C-alpha cells in the first residue's frame, strides 16, 4: 500500500507517490495534476471540490470558498449552503478528493499520507492540517515544510552539492529557505516566510489598479462583479507570463471597461508586494548567516514563481538566473513523492536524509520587573534550530516563599509573551524559600513530527514534572517517539565526542609552552561557550575546526624518524661472565 504525498496549496493541490523507481503525479478525474483548492455546496446539499467548485465562485459566490488555507488554525467560520465549516473541514474535502483520485489511479487503497505546509506555519496551523487529514479518513504520517520538499526535488534532479535558496511563492503564501545539499543530505539552515503573501495579492493589485484607472470603488461592486474582476485580473497575470502586454476587460454596473496591462505596469502597481518579499528574503539570509554571493542556486517553486516579473526580480537581486521549470507548481509534490519513497525504504532513495528546523522560537514567559502584567518571552529553543533537538534553561523564583511556578509555554518571536502563541501551561510545586534561592530547569524536547515534551526539574530536590504537547498523536506513537528522543536529553557538554575534545585540549594545554597556553585557553573558553549554546551544528563545526588546530599543533615531534626504541647495551656486556 503506497504512501501518498499531498501538496495542499492555497490555490491548487496535487498528489504524488513513489513507485517503479520514480515519482508519479496523480491525475484527477479531468486528467489534470492540479486540483483547485475550492469547495462549494451544491443546491442538493452535496459538496463539490476542484474545477467545478472554482467555476461556482462566480455563479454562486456565497456557497463557495477558496483560499481557506490562509485561515488554517483559526476559528474562521465559512457559511456555505446554510452550513458552517472551519478551514480544516474545507481542507479535509480537498484532501479527500486527492485521496480518491489516487485510489482510482493506483487501483489500491490509500490510508497513509504526508502533507506539505508552508515552513512558517505555526503549531496550531500544523495541528489543523493534521486534523484535516483525519477528517478525510487518512493517517497523516508526517508534515513536511514546502521548501524542504522543493529543495529535495531540485537536488535529486541535479545531484550537485551546493547552497540553495528556495523561493516558494504560491497563491497565498511565500516561503524562503536556505538549504545546504551534500552527499545524500538535504539540510535546512534557515526559513522565513509570509503566510499572507502570494499570487492572489497580484490579482488584487491588478484589480485595484483597474478600478483606480476607471475611477471606480470596490465597495460599489457586488460580490459577483468583484469575483469576475479578480478572475479577469488572474487571466491578465497569466497572459503576461508569455505576452509583453494584454488587455483586461470587465463589465461593472452594466458598463464595459477595458485597460491595457504590461509587466511594467504590474510592477508599479504592486510595489508593496516587492517590499514584503525583500523583507522575507533578508530575514532568511540573516538567520542562515549567508550572503547573496554564497548562494549557488536560486530555485523558484510554486505557481506564482512562473511570473516573469518574479523571475526578473530574483535575477536582479542575486545576479544569477533562477532555476525555474515549466512545472514549478509541481516541484513540491515531486519532492513529497521522494519523501514517500524514503519512508517506504525504496532502494533508489532510501539513503536520502531530509533534515528540518523549528521555524519559530519556543520558550516560556518570565517576570517583567517594570510591569508584572506583561511578562517577557524567554527563548529555550531558538528558531531555525535543527530538529529533533533538546534544550534546557535554568530559572529562579521571583517572590519570597513561592509554593508554585507556572510554566507558560509559548511559540513566536515577539518580546512580550502574551503576543506569542500559547501552546500550554504546566504548574510545578516547589519548596518555599526566599526569592532567588530556589530554581528550576526547564527542558524542551522537540521532534520533527511536532511532539514537544516539556520537562521541569526542581533543582533542590530533583523532582520532575512533565507534559507532552503533540499534534493529535495517540499515546503509543508518542511513547515510542519519546523513547527515541531520550538520548537528546544529554547536555552537549556531557556527550562523549565533546568530552573527548575537552580532554585533548586540556592535555595540549598541560604539555604546551607558556607562549602558546593563552591561545589554547582561548580555544577551551570558546568551546565552553559553544557547548552552552546547545546548538549541534555550531558545536560540530567548531569541533571540526579544533580537530585541525590540534592536528597542526601536534605535528612537531622531536623523535620523528625514530622508528623503534634503540637497542640498549650495558657498557660491560659481553666482557665478563657471571659470578
d(CA 119, CA 28): 26
Same domain, 155 and 13: yes
Whether 41 is in a domain gets the answer yes
Whether 154 is in a domain gets the answer yes
Contact of 165 with 284, CB cutoff 8 Å: yes
d(CA 279, CA 222): 35
Looking at 438, 459, 489, the residue that finishes a domain is 489
Looking at 335, 356, 377, the residue that finishes a domain is 356
Whether 561 is in a domain gets the answer no
Same domain, 504 and 421: no
Query: Quick one: cell of 196?
Result: 499572507
Q: How many Cβ atoms from other residues are within 10 Å of residue 268's Cβ? A: 11
DSSP secondary structure letters along 126-143: HHHHHHHHHHTT-EEEEE
Mean pLDDT per 10-residue interval, the chain, length 579 residues:
94 95 94 95 92 91 93 93 93 96 96 92 89 92 89 82 88 89 86 88 94 92 90 92 92 93 92 92 90 90 86 89 76 95 91 85 92 91 88 94 94 90 93 94 87 92 87 55 54 75 81 75 87 82 87 57 44 44
Strands (E), 321-433: 353-354, 356-358, 362-366, 376-381, 385-387, 389-396, 404-411, 421-429
- The residue range of the domain holding 508 is 493-553
Same domain, 466 and 502: no
Structural domains counted in the chain:
4
Same domain, 120 and 177: yes
CATH number at residue 405: 2.60.34.10
Residue 360: φ, ψ to 5°:
-125, 155
Residues with Cβ < 8 Å from 104, sequence gap 6 or more?
29
What was the pLDDT predicted at 489? 55
**SS3 helix, strand, coil % of the chain, rounded to 5?**
40, 30, 30
The dihedral region occupied by 365, where left means phi > 0, alpha psi between -120 and 50, and beta the remainder, is beta
What was the pLDDT predicted at 491? 65
Which H or E run contains 84? strand 83-85
Residue 111: φ, ψ to 5°:
-120, -30
Same domain, 185 and 327: yes
What was the pLDDT predicted at 474? 53
Degrees, nearest 5: CA angle 138-141-145:
115
Whether 559 is in a domain gets the answer no
CATH number at residue 124: 3.30.420.40
Whether 562 is in a domain gets the answer no
The dihedral region occupied by 561, where left means phi > 0, alpha psi between -120 and 50, and beta the remainder, is left
Which H or E run contains 275? helix 271-288
- For 475, counting Cβ atoms within 10 Å of its Cβ (0-12 exposed, 13-18 middle, 19+ buried), the class is exposed
Contact of 508 with 554, CB cutoff 8 Å: yes
Same domain, 364 and 511: no
Whether 560 is in a domain gets the answer no
Contact of 319 with 327, CB cutoff 8 Å: no
Using alpha carbons, list the distances in angstroms from residue 320 to 35, 151, 294, 326, 421. 33, 18, 12, 18, 38
Same domain, 96 and 176: yes
CATH number at residue 224: 3.90.640.10
What was the pLDDT predicted at 568? 41
Query: Quick one: cell of 116?
Result: 506539505
Same domain, 449 and 476: yes
Query: Quick one: cell of 159?
Result: 545531484
Whether 166 is in a domain gets the answer yes
Q: Packing angle between helix 331-343 and helix 146-158, nearest 10 degrees?
A: 80
What was the pLDDT predicted at 479? 59
What was the pLDDT predicted at 242? 87
- Single pTM value for the model: 0.72
Same domain, 188 and 215: no
Looking at 272, 293, 320, the residue that finishes a domain is 272
DSSP secondary structure letters along 217-231: -GGGS-HHHHHHHHH
Same domain, 285 and 263: no
Same domain, 90 and 183: yes
Q: What is the DSSP letter of 50?
A: S
Whether 159 is in a domain gets the answer yes
Same domain, 44 and 157: yes
Contact of 235 with 247, CB cutoff 8 Å: no
Amino acid at each position: 500500500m503506497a504512501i501518498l504525498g499531498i501538496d495542499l496549496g492555497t490555490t491548487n493541490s496535487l498528489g504524488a507517490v513513489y513507485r517503479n523507481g520514480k515519482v508519479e503525479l496523480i491525475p484527477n478525474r479531468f486528467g489534470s495534476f492540479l486540483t483547485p483548492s475550492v469547495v462549494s455546496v451544491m443546491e442538493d446539499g452535496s459538496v463539490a471540490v476542484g474545477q467545478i467548485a472554482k467555476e461556482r465562485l462566480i455563479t454562486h459566490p456565497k456557497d463557495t470558498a477558496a483560499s481557506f488555507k490562509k485561515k488554517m488554525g483559526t476559528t474562521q467560520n465559512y457559511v456555505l449552503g446554510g452550513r458552517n465549516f472551519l478551514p480544516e473541514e474545507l481542507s479535509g474535502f480537498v484532501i479527500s478528493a486527492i485521496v480518491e483520485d489516487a485510489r482510482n489511479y493506483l487501483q489500491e487503497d490509500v490510508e497513509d499520507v504526508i502533507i506539505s505546509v508552508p515552513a512558517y506555519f505555526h503549531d496550531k496551523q500544523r495541528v489543523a492540517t493534521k486534523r484535516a487529514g483525519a477528517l478525510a479518513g487518512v493517517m497523516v504520517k508526517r508534515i513536511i515544510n514546502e521548501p524542504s520538499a522543493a529543495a529535495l526535488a531540485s537536488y535529486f534532479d541535479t545531484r550537485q552539492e551546493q547552497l540553495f535558496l528556495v523561493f516558494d511563492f504560491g497563491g497565498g503564501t511565500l516561503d524562503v529557505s536556505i538549504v545546504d545539499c551534500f552527499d545524500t543530505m538535504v539540510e535546512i539552515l534557515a526559513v522565513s516566510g509570509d503566510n499572507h503573501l502570494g499570487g492572489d495579492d497580484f490579482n488584487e493589485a491588478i484589480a485595484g489598479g483597474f478600478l483606480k484607472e476607471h475611477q471606480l470603488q470596490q465597495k460599489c461592486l457586488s460580490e459577483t462583479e468583484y469575483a469576475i474582476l479578480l478572475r479577469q485580473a488572474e487571466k491578465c497575470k497569466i497572459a503576461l507570463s508569455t505576452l509583453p502586454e494584454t488587455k483586461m476587460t470587465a463589465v461593472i454596473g452594466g458598463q464595459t471597461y477595458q485597460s491595457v496591462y504590461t509587466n511594467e505596469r504590474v510592477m508599479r502597481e504592486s510595489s508593496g508586494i516587492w517590499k514584503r518579499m525583500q523583507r522575507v528574503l533578508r530575514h532568511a539570509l540573516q538567520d542562515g548567516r549567508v550572503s547573496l554571493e554564497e548562494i549557488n542556486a536560486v530555485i523558484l517553486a510554486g505557481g506564482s514563481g512562473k511570473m516573469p516579473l518574479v523571475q526578473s526580480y530574483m535575477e536582479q537581486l542575486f545576479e544569477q538566473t533562477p532555476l525555474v521549470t515549466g512545472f514549478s507548481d509541481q516541484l513540491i509534490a515531486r519532492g513529497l513523492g521522494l519523501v514517500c519513497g524514503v519512508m517506504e525504504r525504496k532502494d533508489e532513495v532510501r539513503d536520502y536524509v531530509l533534515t528540518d528546523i523549528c521555524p519559530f522560537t519556543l520558550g516560556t514567559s518570565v517576570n517583567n520587573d517594570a510591569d508584572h502584567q506583561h511578562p517577557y518571552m524567554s527563548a529555550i529553543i531558538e528558531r531555525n534550530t535543527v530538529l529533533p533537538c533538546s534544550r534546557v534553561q535554568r530559572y529562579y523564583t521571583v517572590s519570597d516563599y513561592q509554593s508554585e511556578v507556572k510554566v507558560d509555554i509559548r511559540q513566536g518571536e515577539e518580546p512580550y509573551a502574551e503576543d506569542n502563541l500559547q501552546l500550554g501551561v504546566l504548574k510545578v510545586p516547589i519548596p518555599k524559600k526566599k526569592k532567588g534561592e530556589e530554581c528550576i530547569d526547564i527542558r524542551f524536547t522537540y521532534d520533527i513530527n511536532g511532539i514537544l515534551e516539556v520537562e521541569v526539574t526542581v533543582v533542590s530536590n530533583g523532582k520532575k514534572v512533565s507534559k507532552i504537547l503533540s499534534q493529535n498523536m495517540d499515546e503509543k506513537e508518542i511513547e515510542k517517539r519519546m523513547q527515541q528522543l531520550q538520548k537528546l536529553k544529554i547536555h552537549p557538554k556531557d556527550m562523549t565526542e565533546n568530552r573527548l575534545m575537552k580532554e585533548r585540549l586540556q592535555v595540549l594545554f598541560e604539555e604546551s609552552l607558556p607562549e602558546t597556553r593563552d591561545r589554547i585557553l582561548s580555544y577551551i573558553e570558546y568551546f565552553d561557550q559553544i557547548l552552552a549554546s546547545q546548538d549541534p551544528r555550531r558545536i560540530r563545526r567548531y569541533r571540526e575546526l579544533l580537530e585541525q588546530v590540534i592536528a597542526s599543533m601536534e605535528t612537531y615531534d622531536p623523535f620523528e624518524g625514530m622508528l623503534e626504541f634503540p637497542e640498549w647495551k650495558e657498557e660491560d656486556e659481553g666482557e665478563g661472565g657471571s659470578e
